[in-house]
Amino acid sequence: MVHKPKIKAPNAIDVHVGSRIRLQRGLMGMSQKTLADGLGVTFQQVQKYEKGRNRVGSSRLQAIANILNVPVTYFFEEGPGYSSSPQVSGAFRELTQFLDSNEGLALNRAFMQIQDAKIRRKLIELARTLAKEPSE
């Protein structure tokens, strides 16, 4: 009888840390290759970190935090075992889900490029109208 090695599921904290790396990297408009070059690893390794398949060691996490210009604690915020007020938690989860999508990230980048505040407000109103959400 041949035993196949069990494939271990990624740890929930490793998955969360990876998603936070991806989120911050995306918010900065940084490619996986650029982050990988800064760390001295391959972009495939960065992919594995971001998916939680490979655990990020403490010194490597500090290096990632430095490159992404965030404190190390950023990677653990809202993760398993993290406690905050329910209102902050819900809003943060919503924001993270939005920015974790390709569309959300692209929309955020484009929106931040609009210099005129009046146009940004009009765009928000358009989005609310399209979503059939009442204005505040």
DSSP summary character for residue 85: -
Residue-wise pLDDT tens digits, 110-133: 888 888 889 989 988 888 888 886
- Residue ranges of the alpha helices (H) in the chain? 12-27, 32-39, 43-51, 58-68, 86-100, 102-113, 117-131
Res. 94: pLDDT tops 80: no
Percent of the chain with pLDDT over 90: 35
Write down the pLDDT at residue 10. 76
Contact 27, 99 (CB under 8 A): yes
77 against 58, higher pLDDT: 58
pTM score: 0.61
Q: Which domains does the chain have, with CATH numbers?
A: 12-100 (1.10.260.40), 102-136 (no CATH)
135 against 123, higher pLDDT: 123
DSSP summary character for residue 74: G
Res. 17: pLDDT tops 70: yes
